Amino acid sequence: MIRTLALSALVATLAITSVSATEDMSKWLRPSEIPQPKNNKLTPERIELGKLLYFDTRLSSSGEVSCATCHHPKRGWTDEKPTAKAVGVDGRVGPRNSPVVLNTAYQNRQFWDGRARTLEQQALGPIEADVEMNMPLDVLLPKLRKIKGYVELFEKAYPGEGITEKTLAKAIASFERTVVSTESPFDKYAKGDKYAISDKAKEGFELFAGKAGCINCHDGFNFTDGSFHNIGLHDGELQGKELGRYLVKMRAAWYGVMKTPTLRDVAKSFPYFHDGSVKTLEEATAICAGGGRFEHNVKNKSLSIVDRHLTKEEIDKVVAFMHTLTGPDMDLTIPTKFPQ
């Protein structure tokens, strides 16, 4: 009887292993083509112009802040210095943690609350925001038109269109579309290299997709469902920016929800969550897999956020897996000289 049970258990284990080994892993790999709108196709001229604008501090009122200040390539495309909330001109602190720019080309909503549909719509928001770059467009556009180098570059990128609100947004969005994840150890594993990640990370992946329930929100190659959730970080009535997508339109289902961030390069982009309140992946995992920071008196908490009863060892395995999602920095030369 004991031998029969042991044999049954072995067969069951082999069956699970077989399913895992033959599973189609292609959904975890980034598509080779970058989505781009018909009216702003990627060209070398547009990408180069956008890159210069992205790193140029002259786009801020203080002349000291650029897009890269809050979305830097060396920090997983978030704040150059690890801060809980974005810091703009004159040390002004924003209401939310800086979201990462990485793989935003594949997202259908931008900002934590998803108020912008496209990168073009998103690009100009931080420039004008008083707590970020604080540069009104009616001041910035004439300023750029006086810089001969930019006039020439805009003409090459957008012939006959000039330096306008639209071409400025298009240029920055073009560069942002090229900010995509590189091949990580997990990508190599997904392609068939079984030695690319550790056994601990493999077990973490199984937990991630199974018991931990992470896959409910962090699915696909970009490890996000592209949707919005209230993960129970705050209890009671919410105020101000904590209302999340509810500020875009007052729908009950949008109360306190924020966009699911990508987990690509997540080990670089701490602190975590929209409020920047968590410094480590271990704590972030414990909160999400433990039913949120608050279990009671949380209005509209996501149904995916429940206590998964993970042990510390299991949390460590999930974190080990998430570290395998970090690839090398993309091949990018950060400009040090700008058009004059």
Judged by DSSP in three states, 292 sits in coil
Residue 178 near residue 66 (C-beta atoms within 8 A): no
User: In angstroms, rounded to a whole number, what is the distance separating the alpha carbons of residues 288 and 19?
Assistant: 27
- Is 132 in the active site? yes
SS3 call for 154: helix
Compute the chain's Rg from CA coordinates: 22
Judge if the upstream peptide bond of residue 37 is cis by omega within 30 degrees of 0.
no
Q: Which residues, including other chains, have CB under 8 Å from residue 216's CB and lie 6 or more apart?
A: 225, 304
pLDDT value, residue 202: 98
239 phi and psi, to 5 degrees? -130, 155
Q: Indicate the pTM of the whole model.
A: 0.91
Q: CA 24, 27, 30, 35: dihedral to nearest 10 degrees?
A: 140
What is the token pair recorded at 42? 């990627």
Question: Which residue type occupies 188?
Answer: K
What is the reported pLDDT for 48?
98
How far is residue 271 CA from its own chain's centroid?
Answer: 13
Domains in the chain, ordered, with CATH?
A: 25-29+183-323 (1.10.760.10), 38-177 (1.10.760.10)
CB 278, CB 285: distance < 8 Å: no
CB–CB of 87/79 below 8 Å? yes
What is the DSSP-derived secondary structure letter of residue 262? P
Query: Looking at residue 295, what is its pLDDT?
Result: 79
Q: Residues 120, 132, 176, 242: which is the catalytic one?
A: 132
Which amino acid is it at 40? N
Residue pair 61/89 in contact (Cβ under 8 Å)? The answer is: yes
Which residue is associated with the tokens 């209302």?
243
Three-state SS at 116:
strand
- Mean pLDDT in consecutive groups of 10 residues from the start of the chain, 340 residues: 37 35 80 95 98 98 96 91 90 94 96 97 97 97 98 98 98 98 97 97 98 97 97 94 96 97 96 96 97 91 96 98 97 96
Longest alpha-carbon distance in the chain: 87
Question: What pLDDT score was predicted for residue 6?
Answer: 38
Q: Which stretches within the chain are classed as H helix?
A: 2-22, 44-55, 67-70, 119-123, 125-128, 137-145, 148-157, 165-177, 185-190, 199-209, 281-288, 312-323
Structure tokens at 154: 């805009």
Instruction: Report long-range pairs for 94-97 (Cβ below 8 Å, ≥24 apart).
Output: 94/129, 94/131, 94/132, 95/131, 95/240, 95/241, 96/241, 96/274, 96/275, 96/276, 97/271, 97/272, 97/273, 97/274, 97/275, 97/276
DSSP code per residue over 68-99: HHHSBGGGTTB-SS--SS-B-GGGPBPSSPPP
